[in-house]
């Protein structure tokens, strides 16, 4: 059998390791690394599930690929020094793709961002870095890992949805979301509202206990019951108070499910209100929380609510995220020493787990990039990225008033099509240096990114809009007429002799013209340049989008165009 893991390193340049929860080795004690690595390159394994949930055959995006592990994160975070050291080692080790499901809640400029710096060095060595977009959605400008030389991946739903049901004593069934692998004994369990069981002796009020905060519940009142909580929590308060189960009500989306250390479900405000009404109408309310089940999601793929959105907070002229991939309720490998629900009091040990996040979507895209590279080993990181972006499937309708492009980028990945994209938008180290110079970087800032003697002294004045990117973004002032030119160059990687014609999806808010409207190629590797002119005026809504398509009748090379208010 061919070795799957061919390298493993760990990094800890500062601070101490907690020996109770951490292992001073590359070994995974949190589950996150095992999950992401197996998603990108795990072998096919038949008949796996999480306690009967999502039963089937699981396999990574590229099961024949090998894995090199670089452990940089610990319980207290990931240091910049460790991240940069891991990048250096991965580059020296000759990896083909770097999958990095790591990010920050605060977005830094490129010269202060260790991931941006490390991924620049990787790009220069021919290695594409795939990054998670972040889990701070659905709020605008929440996207992270926005360097243009990386692939920034948003999260979408898949056609499997995990639900959990609450059955009230009057036989009404309420559908919520959670990954509940427990089974409660008995048909119905007493219900109690958390706000009616404050731990007064410990100084907590009903306001505290209504949210089931840690230590806020009176165990003598809650023990052996299902506690109803306002808001969402990790279950610690209910578990410590010896509750048998927990029902939460929250202004939330039900497009993904959490796991908890006790029987639990999360209801939206309407469904949660039904449970509260039942409790108020009964002197001794009772209910049961059923084990979760998987159902078909006919609306998938859709961008998940938690997935971070654009616009790009650092370089508004570069659309981020770039692309989207499955990131909700993903079943993959898990470290058996890691708690299933990520709560240390959870004693369940599993080899496979279902979790959600852009950390899960990132390795899907990383695997897709490796798949494309296996067919085209000489392609640059930018060419591989372009192939994935221009062949992606639009998620939701492009048009007036939608945030689809700012949430999903070019759309949902289609690795099979990405192998034969027809045309690619290529870019290299010089192009990115030119972009940073046009952003106003001085020599000191530029060299913090490049790590060499690069300078802006010989770079011609230009605009970030002209970076040869596979998408188009423009930020404008409300009510002010705008006009912008984008210069792009495409490289023929399809049929040697071919003619591509351009089309732009119509929109009343934008006037888009392309010159020339036809590109003729006579050989592979031939390049052609075109200009895209975008003009109009935008007052409301926040953004408007359309798409530009080049097609030779066989290949469809699609790029989103988005204009949004400052």
Is 2.60.40.2310 the CATH number for 422-427+467-565?
Answer: yes
Between CA 123 and CA 146 the distance in angstroms is 14
What local confidence, expressed as pLDDT, does residue 170 receive? 92
CATH architecture, range 160-296: 3-Layer(bba) Sandwich (3.50)
Please name every residue paired with 324 in a beta bridge, in sequence order, or none if there are none: 154, 412
Query: 83-131: per-residue pLDDT in tens?
Result: 999 999 999 999 999 999 999 888 999 999 999 999 999 999 999 999 9
Query: 311-323: per-residue pLDDT in tens?
Result: 999 999 999 999 9
Q: Which of 95, 136, 61, 114 is nearest to 388 (CA)?
A: 61
Residue 84 in contact with residue 449, Cβ under 8 Å?
A: no
The encoded tokens of residue 56 equal 């089937």
Phi then psi dihedrals of residue 46, to 5 deg? -90, 155
Query: 179-214: per-residue pLDDT in tens?
Result: 999 999 777 999 999 999 999 999 999 999 999 999
DSSP for 121-167, please give it: HHHHTT-EEEEE--S-TTSTT------TTSEEEEEE--SEEEEEEEE
What local confidence, expressed as pLDDT, does residue 111 receive? 97
What local confidence, expressed as pLDDT, does residue 460 receive? 83
The encoded tokens of residue 393 equal 């499937």
C-alpha distances out from residue 415 to 298, 344, 389, Å:
21, 37, 10
Between CA 35 and CA 364 the distance in angstroms is 11
One CATH from 3.40.50.200, 2.60.120.380, 3.40.50.300, 1.10.8.60 for 5-156+302-390: 3.40.50.200
In the chain, list all ranges with CATH 3.40.50.200. 5-156+302-390
Which residues of the chain register pLDDT less than 50? 397-402
What local confidence, expressed as pLDDT, does residue 397 receive? 40
CB burial of 500-537 (b: ≥16 within 10 Å; e: otherwise) equals bebebbebebbebebeeeebebeeeeeebebebebebe
What local confidence, expressed as pLDDT, does residue 105 receive? 84
Query: 493-546: per-residue pLDDT in tens?
Result: 999 999 999 999 878 789 999 999 999 999 999 999 999 999 999 887 788 999
Pairing mode of beta strands 323-326, 189-193: unpaired
In the chain, list all ranges with CATH 3.50.30.30. 160-296
What local confidence, expressed as pLDDT, does residue 198 receive? 97
What local confidence, expressed as pLDDT, does residue 2 receive? 66
What local confidence, expressed as pLDDT, does residue 186 receive? 76
């Amino acid at each position: 059998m061919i070795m799957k893991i061919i390298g493993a390193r760990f990094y800890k340049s500062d601070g101490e390791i907690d020996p109770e929860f951490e292992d001073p080795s590359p070994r995974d004690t949190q589950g996150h690394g095992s999950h992401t690595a197996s998603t990108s390159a795990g072998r096919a394994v038949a008949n796996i599930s999480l306690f009967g949930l999502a039963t089937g055959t699981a396999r990574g995006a590229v099961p024949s690929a090998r894995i090199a592990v670089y452990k940089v994160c610990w319980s207290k975070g990931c240091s910049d020094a460790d991240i940069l050291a891991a990048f250096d080692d991965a580059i020296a080790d000759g990896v083909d793709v770097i999958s990095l499901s790591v990010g920050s809640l605060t977005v830094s400029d490129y010269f202060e961002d260790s991931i941006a710096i490390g991924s620049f060095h990787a790009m220069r060595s021919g290695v594409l870095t795939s990054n998670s977009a972040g889990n701070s959605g659905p709020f605008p400008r929440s996207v992270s890992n926005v360097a243009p030389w990386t692939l920034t991946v948003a999260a979408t739903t898949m056609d499997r949805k995990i639900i959990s049901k609450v059955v009230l004593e009057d036989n009404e069934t309420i559908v919520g979301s959670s990954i509940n692998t427990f089974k409660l004994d008995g048909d119905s369990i007493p219900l109690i509202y958390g706000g009616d069981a404050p731990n007064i002796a410990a100084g907590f009020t009903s306001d505290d206990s209504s949210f089931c905060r840690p230590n806020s519940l009176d165990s003598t009142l809650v023990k052996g019951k299902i506690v109803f909580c306002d808001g969402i929590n990790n279950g610690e308060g209910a578990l410590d108070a010896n509750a048998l189960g927990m029902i939460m009500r929250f202004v939330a989306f039900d497009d993904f499910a959490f796991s908890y250390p006790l029987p639990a479900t999360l209801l939206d405000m309407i469904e949660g209100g039904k449970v509260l009404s039942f409790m108020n109408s009964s002197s001794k309310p009772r209910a049961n929380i059923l084990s979760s089940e998987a159902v078909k999601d006919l609306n998938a793929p859709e961008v998940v609510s938690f997935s971070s959105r654009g616009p790009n907070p650092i370089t508004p002229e570069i659309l981020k995220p770039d692309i989207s991939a499955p990131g909700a309720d993903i079943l993959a490998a898990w470290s058996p020493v890691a708690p299933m629900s990520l709560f240390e009091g959870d004693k369940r040990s599993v080899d496979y787990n279902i979790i959600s996040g852009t950390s899960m979507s990132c390795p899907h895209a990383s695997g897709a990039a490796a798949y494309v590279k296996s067919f085209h080993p000489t392609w640059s990181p930018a060419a591989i990225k372009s192939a994935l972006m221009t062949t992606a499937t639009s998620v939701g309708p492009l048009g007036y008033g939608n945030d689809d492009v700012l949430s999903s980028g070019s759309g949902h990945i289609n690795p099979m099509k990405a192998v034969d994209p027809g045309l690619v938008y290529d870019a290299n180290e010089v192009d990115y240096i030119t972009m940073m110079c046009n952003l106003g970087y001085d020599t000191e800032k530029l060299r913090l990114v490049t790590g060499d003697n690069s300078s802006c002294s010989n770079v011609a004045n230009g605009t970030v809009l002209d970076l040869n990117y596979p998408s188009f973004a423009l930020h404008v002032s409300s009510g002010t007429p705008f006009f912008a030119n984008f210069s792009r160059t495409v490289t023929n990687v399809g049929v040697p002799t071919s003619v591509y014609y351009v089309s732009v999806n119509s929109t009343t808010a934008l006037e888009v013209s392309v010159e020339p409207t036809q590109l003729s190629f006579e050989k592979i590797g031939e390049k052609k340049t075109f200009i895209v002119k975008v003009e109009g005026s935008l007052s409301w809504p926040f953004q408007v989008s359309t798409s530009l398509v080049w097609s030779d009748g066989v290949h469809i090379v699609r790029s989103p165009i988005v204009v949004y208010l400052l």
